[in-house]
Each structure stands twice: as structure tokens, then as C-alpha cells.
Structure 1
Amino acid sequence: MTDLLSRAATPAGLRTLDDQDLPELASDIRELMVRTVSRSGGHLGASLGVVELTIALHRVFDSPRDALVFDTGHQTYPHKILTGRAADFDTLRRRGGLSGYPSRAESAHDWTESSHASTSLAYADGLARAFHRTGAPDRRVVAVVGDGALTGGAAFEALNSIGAHATPVVVVLNDNTRSYDPTAGALAAHLARLRSGEAPAGRNLFTDLGFHYLGPVDGHDLTATQDALREAAALGRPVLVHTVTDKGRGYAPAEADTDDRMHACGVIDPRTGRPLTPAAPSWTSVLGAELTALAEDRPDLVALTAAMRLPVGLGPFSARFPDRTFDSGIAEQHAVTSAAGLAAGGLHPVVCLYATFLNRAVDQLLMDVALHRLPVTLVLDRAGVTGPDGASHHGLWDLALLSRVPGLRIAAPRDPARLRELLREAVDTTDGPTAVRFPKATAGPDLPALAAMDGIDLLHRTPRAALDVLLIAIGATAPAALDAARILERHGLGVTVADPRWVVPVNPALAHLADRHRVALSIEDGVREGGAGALIAQHSADHGTTPVHPVGLPTRFLAHGERAELLAAAGLSGPALADTARALLARATGAAAAHDLSHPAHPNPGRTS
């Protein structure tokens, strides 16, 4: 902690600094962020770009009495540093430490847990109305939104509402021309005209929607930015302050990264920005290579992304087939319904999203895709526990949500080879939608099947032993299930590990397989209640005799931490699964013994009724 960082550790302290101290403070904040993120990983580029803007915001507005609502909260590292959390910043993204996003549990200065884009304006609209109705109209509300996040439909809905009702919200547009990728669409072109001065003077999209427009302002010029914010605060009406910033500002490796300005990074050398360990093949890279190979032979294949072309593995595909790659901006709802139109027109669209972001487009999947039985394939990256990004980014809900969509088939590959073959099966499906899900993790070794049975891969079977325990491993839980099988065998139990490959609809052979064992468990890295395991359990209850016990994640928001430790804490490690199986087996044995005692095979002939 430098002297300036200590003095500016709270907004009140920041406001006591002289203007000439601020450039040095900005440099100290950048140095602290680079030093910390190089050890923890995190979202670096966006936060580097808003250092001066965040300083200006906290000097003009009185947080938390005035509400500062940040959209897509990976730009809030400077905000955390200036609101009492600089001393703990080295705990960033570690289990029990600071969240990588705003967190209401951490600070009164954080109004939302924002990390899904395009929501800040609607929050701000509601807060401003609430302050007015509760007798505090002097409390000011500011929404900080990027040009990328402004492409989302929810942002346009909020602009429409704020402008129509003259809600006194200050919208700070942080225009760095990027989300992950360069911002796409007509809005990006409009902002470019505003930046260049080519737009008609005094009139633009925002003024037509009822906003007073200020800008464009150099968001790295502290004096100009503070002056614009003070003017906006004094107007008492909807105002949009158009600030122009550079993503990755002040850190040479980020400025030189033309792909995404180090939007997100792992552990790096802070001097060079390069990873300290060679990048291992990921599930995402396997997907990208296979989809590109498929498209060579399938001219009907097209790919869609919601402003995340590189993070979802579409770099190779988009380089090879730029005219078959469509970027919706941060607008998952539009992407899914656009895919429905592409499918209705005779193509096979593959929509590549993070599993957590698909939550936003469930209605479109139901009513625009599934209702019409259209052949759209969803590729869901980061399914299950993602790790340090925390509650909003864990892909826990996809199996529970999607398993209720009529006609949707869901595949969960256990290894890279299965990802390739299941993707091919998915895009070969012509009579309805499909989904393929995989985790945020290194793509481990292939796990070949010992045998196949009615579409189910048998990964392990104890030779010449009684069939005690069936472990139904869904997708990436297969390694933990195999580990559990080895532990159970050391206790003298016979174990089968089965991978259904296609999880939904339930394969009828699973009930028959379960009936050959004393106990059966399904294992998934999604929420247990209402998940795929619950479907398997219901099917077995309807069609079999051995109950299937679903094992999965709790239905709650999980904190950030390393993926392996979060899975272990939820009972999804090999030892924990073995303990669960043994407990179920003991319970089943006890129930059977109690049944035998109450219904003896050879009742006492002298007993009377």
C-alpha cells in the first residue's frame, strides 16, 4: 500500500486529495491491480481502462448515499480499491476472499452482484424511483455501462423507460469499443460517429430517447471527466455522459493484446503478461477445432456468439468461415431466436454460449426453438462449477432448466473424444434442438469405454464380483466416479460405472441397469433438485425396482473458489461419492434385514393370528 492508496482507501479520503495527486494515484491503482491479478487471475483489461473514470465518480458522487451501479462488474477492481478493500485486494477471487465482481456482502458501496451484462440501467431506474418515493430525491443514481453491454436488449428497455419517465439517472457510457471482442452492430457504428464528430450536432439516439447528452469526453482526463459528471449531477434529469476509454490502459501487455486487451487472464508474469505455465488443451479449444472441421464438410453449419467469439472457442471457425459466423452482441435472447430463423431457413446453427448466460434465453429456447422442433444446437461452455468467477458464473442451472424443455436432447461428454463424437451426433440431428455441455477445465485424457449397452458406455465393472453399486456418471463427473469405484472395490464391493452420454431424454436402459445392482447413484455437476439425476430417478421409479439416488450440487448460489475444492465441498469428489454409496448400501442392507425380520421366510407354525 502506497501512501496515496492508504489516503484514498475510502471515498471520503479520496476527496481530500489534491488534483495533482490523482495521476500518481491512478498509477498506484494500476500497479496494485496488475500485481494482484498476475497471481490470482481475473478480469484485468476492463478495470485498467476505468481507473480515472472511477476516481472521478467517487470524487463527484457520495457513495454509498449516492448509488453507483456498475454494469458487467469485472470493471470494478478500482471501485473496490477506493471503497475500503485495498488492504484485502490480495485475496481477490480466492475462496473466502474478495469476489471478482461487486458483492453486496462485501460492501455497502456495492448495490448489485452484477456480472451478467446490460442490467445496470434497469437497477438505476428502480433505485431512482425508490429514492424519490421514500423522501430522498437528493440521493443521486449513476449507472456505469459499457458500449458492449449497451447492445443487450435489457439496456435498451431501460433507456426507453428512463427517458420516457424523465427518471433522474446519470448514465455513464464507458465506450472502449469492445466487450470481449470489438463491439458489433449498428449501435457501434453510431457511437463511432459520435466519437468522430460526424453525427448531427445536438441530436443522436440518446437525445431522441429523452436524455441530455454530454460528450464525448476523454475518460482518462480527470479534469474533463469530473467536470462532465458534475454538470450531469446538477441537471436533475436523464443524462448520458459519453466517456471514451482505452481497455487495458497503462499496462503494455494489455495494450498490445489486440484480441481482447487481456479482458481475462490466468496467472501471468506481471512483466510480460505471458502465462507462467503453458496453456493446456481446454474443452473450449477441442470444441473450436472440431466445429471447424465439421464445417468443412457441412456448408449448412453456421455459428452464433453473443459477443464472445474467442472465449467460446469460435476463433478458428470465424477465421475460416467469417461469413458463417454471427455475433449478436451481448444479446443471448436475440442469438437463440435468430438461430431459430436460421434453422427454419434450412441451415443448422450452433449457438455457443457460457452455460450461465443461457439462463437469459430459456424463453426463446422454449417458444422459438423447441415449440417448432427446429434443429438448433446449443454448445454450453463453463457448465457446472466454474471456479473463481463465483456465483453468477457457475453454470449450475442448465440441466435443471433445459431438462424441462420438450424435445430437447442434452449430451454431456466425459472427455475430448466424446465431445467430438457427441457434437457430430448433435449437428446430425434434424428433428429438434440439441445441447452439448462441458466444464471450464483442462481437457483431460480420454476415458475409453469397456463396452457399450444400448447407447450407454460402461466405463468400469468389477470383474467376477456381485453387482453392489451403480454409479451413473454425467459428463465431467466421470473421473470422480471412477475414483469412487476404486475406493469401493478396496472395501470389497462390486461397482459399475456407466456414462449415458445423452442425458436427456433418459435412456430406458438405465433403469434396467440399476435393477441389477443393490444401490444406484446418479452424479452431476449441476443442481441436484430438478436436475438430470432427478429425471433418471423418476424414470427408474416408474420402470424399475432399484431406486436411483441423485447426487449433485445444492440449490443455492455457490461462492467463488477453485473448481476442485468447490466440487469436493459439495460431495462430488471420489472419496465423498464412495462414502455416499457406502451409506446408501448400509441403509439398503438395514432395510432388507428389517424386512426379513418382519416377514420371515419360515414363520413359526405355532403362531396364531
Structure 2
Amino acid sequence: MEIIPGPLLKTIDSPADLKKLPREKLHQVCDELRQYIIDVVSVHGGHFGASLGVVELTTALHYVYNTPYDQLVWDVGHQAYGHKILTGRRDNFVTNRKYNGISGFPKRSESEYDTFGVGHSSTSISAALGMAMAAKYKGETDRKTVAVIGDGSMTAGMAFEAMNHAGVANSDMLIILNDNGIGIDPNTGALKEYLTDISTSPTYNKVKDDVWKLMGKLPVGKNFTRAMGHKLVEGLKGMVNSSANLFEALKIRYFGPIDGHNVAKLVDTLKDLRDIPGPKLLHIVTTKGKGYALAEQDQTKWHAPGLFDKVTGEIFKKKFDTPQPPKYQDVFGHTLIELAERNQRIFGITPAMPSGSSLKFMMEKMPDRAFDVGICEQHAVTLSAGMATQGMRVFCNIYSSFMQRAYDQVVHDVAIQKLPVVFCLDRAGLVGDDGPTHHGAYDIAYMRCIPNIVISAPMNESELRNLMYTSQLESTDVPFVIRYPRGEGTMPEWKTEMKEITIGKGRKLKDGDGIAILSFGHPGNFAASAIRDLKLEGVNPGHYDMRFAKPLDEELLHEACQRYQKLITVEDGCIEGGFGSAVLEFMAKHNYKNEVRILGIPDRIVEHGTPKELQHECKYDAVAIKETVLEMMKDKVRVTELLG
């Protein structure tokens, strides 16, 4: 299906083309840009509501600023679809998030207009400040830097650290606070209430408007009028609405709030702010999903809905003839409620991902024992540690790639103190379309080097339930990591009786001949599939589900090393420092000389694509396991063929 852009949009191959249009045509550009995003995402998939909400802002920024010389940083990159379309990627936009297509996030290697890679939140102000300070040092006094940050991203400590520095660095930068009250799920916390207070204070906003109108009538020059009006407004802020002083207290000049969907007003405001030196913040109010009624009404559902009928709003779901297994996330969410009903000490915490992680189930049923703390991974970990000191058993649910943001807290606040926090690392392994910023590739390696910590991974839903049950027992007195992939369930009848697992004990799934596969976590299912196919080739590998990367099941490893000359390890984590490396360390310690192949994520950045495409590319899917076994057992296969 060919998707055709509107008559104005099809003429825009760069911001230079946009600038050729008269100001009164920008409304039409915005309408066509919004419709093009709807048309493409409905057919090809991707994030949806976030980019619809900043269509006017995106258009105004590229109309006013001299991009890419002026530098624009998005936070988070879900908002940047319109930016990509206006900067030369309109015709390639149908490949967005597809294997070998363009990235779903701004990416420096993809375009000179993408000044900074932004898949994780709350980085824009720090990055933009660095750019502005470098421009000042190089004498590029005409170069402007803009950070666009959502109010959800503003909750993270890093954003405040950056603003704290920006106020004294006195570099020429503009922070645009895109305030729509939602990230993926609704925003939480005092900052949300504070921004709402600014946005809705009728007294402050009416007085401010009256002052600007009054100053516009005074018979003095424009610059004087603007300067005096700003001084009066700033004084009124403190008198009428004291909460508006937060940004000013950090020495960042505050402007707004203004309607983020009035493109003409945005153009005028940005032109004025471009001429004001120093650090400043423009507060705009927008609606996530603007222009598509269903997305405006249910912003969480329409953050990334998948394929849908743009006319009826029907979201297309795959239909199956037989019952399908649930996602690991949903098994986690429902199992946690079961455990919490039995154990009053259990709590659930997530940093801004209650829907994605399925902690939403517990938040709905037990709102006093499950919390969304906002995009604050560091806080989530140390909050969990604090509760653990008081005897609580906290399940801290964080995406694997986001846990990287809280690494010091895991070491300093949890492991050193040996506090029994349960880290449920969702989205472990290759997550797919979100690409390298979201792949959970490194957690085995970065957790394995920390003392006092258990690292586990279930092969199926029943094993996930057993690990969760084991992690909350009184006898489990150490930090406990459970990692599992996005989706990927295997058991339609998943609600099995929960049993304690001995920490550090794996399972022998089958005996074999000549070669054995040691799998860790969900890739054990790939190994099982390969073994079924290999039976037809006359090859019979043994199979061990190791369950734990730390501590290792040394009894099983001794058995495997002594019984099988050839071994293959399989994991959905980085090869360097991961589960396979742990097996090699064990073998070196005990002087084993077996032939070993390690299958997992290679030592390079893996781009985006479906999980199956990427697992095949990285050579640890069922096909790759089968090929590796056959290559290692080629002499035996030749003998079998000759005898056959």
C-alpha cells in the first residue's frame, strides 16, 4: 500500500524547504504531517501518540531555527517522528523500526539533524548544555541549542542535575518543557502537580496576559517593552503563584505556559526567545495523541498500539486457533499478586512502567503496596533497599536496559548491605524494534561481577513462578535477580503450583551422546527445538537448563564436563562476561579441556528488528544451535551417513 504525503509535505525534503513557505501555510503543513504519521504508523506500526502531540512544535522549531547548525535534542525520542519526516526521511519513514530500516529514535549515524541518540529519558538537558558550552568555547555565538523534554522525563534526577549546572554555566540554551501529563502511563509525583498548578492558575495567567498587553501599548521601543514586561511578569509570578519560582530559583528564565498546538504562537515565541541570551525554559502544554481522538482519550493504549484501522480505530491482534501462552510480564504481574496475598511483607515498585511490566495488576488490586515512582530508576532501587531494611520483601521491576541507570545503587545500596531486594529484569535479551537503546544485553555480565547476588533466569512460565516464590522466602537473604524476555511465553497452562528451587541448582532435561547444550533462561526453548530437529540427523545432544548464572550449579557442570567432550552454552545476553564466560571460568579452575562454543549476543551493537530476526542474526536461535551442533559433530555425522 503506497502512502502519499499531502501536497505541501511532499515538497519538504529539508527544513530549508519548510522555511520557503509563508507563515500562514504552517497550519496546513501540521495537518498533513499529522495525517502522514497516522497513515504510516497505522499500516507499519511504531510509537504513535507522542509524535502526534508535538507536530506543531516540531514544525515551528525547524521553521525558526537553523537546523542542523542549530542543535535540537529530543527527550525521549518517541516524539521525533515528525522531526524525521521533515529532515529528509519522509520517503524512508515506512521502514521505521523495521529490520535494516531507519531507527525509531534519533540516531547520530542516521542523520546530521539527529544531534544525540535518545532512547532513554532525561538526557537532553545535559547533552544540550554540553553542546551549548562547546559552542561558547569555540566562539560560535550565533549557534543555538534546544532541548525538548517531556514532563515525564523531567522527573528523573539527571534532568535536575543538568538544570542545576545550566543555571550557573550561563550558556545560550533553550529548554522546552513539553507538558502533556503522561509518559507511557500517566505521570506521578509532586512535579506533575506543580506543573499543573502553573498551567491552570487563572489569576497568574490572566495578570500576565494583561501586563503584556499593557506594555505593548506603551510608546517605547520593542526591546524596552519586552524587558520591562518580563520584569513585571517575573515579579507577579512570585506574588500570584509562588510555585512558578522553581526554575527561576535555578537561574533559568521561565516563559509560559503557552498552547503547544498553536503553531503561529509557537513561531512568534521561539523567534523572541532565540534572541534572549542565557539559559531559559519555555513551558508548553500539549495533548499526547493530538488529532486522533482515540489516542487523545486513551493515551497509554495508543502509545504504541501496533497496526490498526485508522478509520475505525480497531487495533489488529493476531488470531490463533489454539490457546496461546501469556507473556512473561503478565505471569509476573499475576504471580506477584498471589504471593502478596500470602505474604504481607511483599511490595512492588516500578520506575514508570506499570503497564509494560504488568505491575499495573497489583497497583489496581493493592494500591497501598505497589508503586510507580516515575522515571527514576536510581530512586526505585534505593527506595526498595530502604524498605528491605525494615523487613519488607520488595519486587523491584525494571527493564534490563533501564537497570543500567541504577548500577551504583545496586552495588552500594543493595549488594554491599546484602539486602534481599528482588530485581525482576523485564525485557532481557534482544527486545526487537526499539533497538540498541532497549536491548537487555548486558545485565548478566554487569550483575555477575557483584558479590552477594543471585542471578537467575526461567526457561518457562512455571520456572518464573518458582523463582519468584523462592526469592521471597525468609531463608533467601541476598539480592535476587530474575531476568526474562519480552513476551515469548511457552505454556498456555501456566498457573502451576509454586515450588521452592534450591538456589544454584539447575535441571538435567535429557541425557545425550557426545555433546551437551547448557542453556540459561528462555533460549533453552531454542535448544529444545534444535534437539528435536537433530534427532532426525542421528545426533543426540544432552541438555541442561542451568537456571542460575550465579551461583553456578557446579555438580551439574562437573557431570557435563566429565560426560561430554563437546559443550555449547546458550544465553540471550552478551557473550563477554556472561553465562558462557562463567562456565569457562569454572572449567579453567578445574582444569577441564572440553571443546566449548558460546552462543549469545556478540560484541557489537545490535540494531533493531524483530526478536526472531535479531536472534537469527546473532546466531543463537534454534537454527544456529542446530548448525553449531552439526559443525562440532561433523565427524560423527559423516560416520552415521556412511553407515546409513
TM-score of the aligned structures, taking structure 2 as reference length: 0.87
Matched residue of 1:163: which SS? helix
Q: Distance in 2 between the 1:256 and 1:589 partners? A: 61
Q: Distance in 2 between the 1:235 and 1:588 partners? A: 76
| Counterpart residue number, 1:595 | none
User: What amino acid does structure 2 have at the position aligned with 1:443?
Assistant: G
User: What amino acid does structure 1 have at the position aligned with 2:523?
Assistant: T
Q: Mean Cα displacement is larger for which, 131-140 or 242-251?
A: 131-140
2:127 aligned with 1:123, yes or no?
yes
User: Displacement, 1:525?
Assistant: 0.8
| Counterpart residue number, 1:457 | 507
| Counterpart residue number, 1:535 | 582
CA contact (8 A) 2:418 2:477 kept: yes
From 260, 268, 271, the equivalent of 1:227 is 268
| Counterpart residue number, 2:598 | 550
Q: Distance in 2 between the 1:486 and 1:549 partners? A: 20
CA deviation profile, 1:67-106 (whole Å, cap 9, x unmatched): 0000110110010011011111111111111110001122
User: Displacement, 1:414?
Assistant: 1.1
User: What amino acid does structure 1 have at the position aligned with 2:339?
Assistant: L
Q: Distance in 2 between the 1:487 and 1:519 partners? A: 19
User: What amino acid does structure 1 have at the position aligned with 2:564?
Assistant: H
2:288 aligned with 1:240, yes or no?
no
2:398 aligned with 1:368, yes or no?
no
Match runs of 1:361-440 below 5 Å: 361-428=406-473, 430-440=476-486
Q: Can you give the 5+ residue segments of structure 1 that lack an aligned partner in the other structure?
A: 591-609
User: Displacement, 1:332?
Assistant: 0.3
Match runs of 1:29-40 below 5 Å: 29-40=33-44
Q: Mean Cα displacement is larger for which, 572-581 or 290-299?
A: 572-581
Q: RMSD between aligned alpha carbons?
A: 2.2
CA change 1:457–1:55 in 2 (3 A) is same
User: Displacement, 1:548?
Assistant: 4.1
CA contact (8 A) 1:415 1:446 kept: no
User: Displacement, 1:579?
Assistant: 2.0
User: Displacement, 1:589?
Assistant: 12
| Counterpart residue number, 2:306 | 266
Q: Mean Cα displacement is larger for which, 518-527 or 573-582?
A: 573-582
Q: Can you give the 5+ residue segments of structure 2 that lack an aligned partner in the other structure?
A: 205-235, 239-243, 639-644
User: What amino acid does structure 2 have at the position aligned with 1:572?
Assistant: Y
User: Displacement, 1:586?
Assistant: 5.2
Q: Distance in 2 between the 1:393 and 1:329 partners? A: 18
| Counterpart residue number, 1:211 | 252
From 60, 64, 69, the equivalent of 2:68 is 64
Matched residue of 1:322: which SS? coil
Q: Distance in 2 between the 1:470 and 1:424 partners? A: 29
CA contact (8 A) 1:44 1:265 kept: yes
2:368 aligned with 1:320, yes or no?
no
User: What amino acid does structure 1 have at the position aligned with 2:627?
Assistant: D
Q: Distance in 2 between the 1:219 and 1:346 partners? A: 47
User: Displacement, 1:275?
Assistant: 2.6
| Counterpart residue number, 1:189 | 193
| Counterpart residue number, 1:524 | 571
Q: Distance in 1 between the 2:447 and 2:24 partners? A: 55
Q: Distance in 2 between the 1:587 and 1:155 partners? A: 59
User: Displacement, 1:547?
Assistant: 5.0
| Counterpart residue number, 2:535 | 489
Match runs of 1:264-303 below 5 Å: 264-278=304-318, 281-303=326-348
CA deviation profile, 1:385-413 (whole Å, cap 9, x unmatched): 01111110111011111111112111111
2:23 aligned with 1:23, yes or no?
no
Q: Mean Cα displacement is larger for which, 356-365 or 430-439?
A: 430-439
CA contact (8 A) 1:374 1:430 kept: no
CA deviation profile, 1:221-242 (whole Å, cap 9, x unmatched): 1122122212211111111000
Match runs of 1:583-594 below 5 Å: 583-585=631-633
Q: Distance in 2 between the 1:3 and 1:271 partners? A: 21
CA contact (8 A) 2:505 2:552 kept: no
Matched residue of 1:13: which SS? helix
User: What amino acid does structure 2 have at the position aligned with 1:283?
Assistant: Y
User: What amino acid does structure 2 have at the position aligned with 1:442?
Assistant: E
User: What amino acid does structure 1 have at the position aligned with 2:27?
Assistant: P
Q: Mean Cα displacement is larger for which, 420-429 or 66-75?
A: 420-429
| Counterpart residue number, 1:603 | none
From 557, 565, 570, the equivalent of 1:511 is 557
CA change 1:278–1:485 in 2 (3 A) is closer
Q: Distance in 2 between the 1:79 and 1:327 partners? A: 30
User: What amino acid does structure 2 have at the position aligned with 1:201?
Assistant: K
User: What amino acid does structure 1 have at the position aligned with 2:599?
Assistant: V
Matched residue of 1:475: which SS? coil
User: Displacement, 1:132?
Assistant: 1.3
Matched residue of 1:550: which SS? strand
Identity in percent: 38
CA change 1:116–1:353 in 2 (3 A) is same
User: Displacement, 1:255?
Assistant: 1.3
CA deviation profile, 1:360-393 (whole Å, cap 9, x unmatched): 1111101100001101001111110011111101
2:331 aligned with 1:331, yes or no?
no
From 231, 237, 249, the equivalent of 1:201 is 237
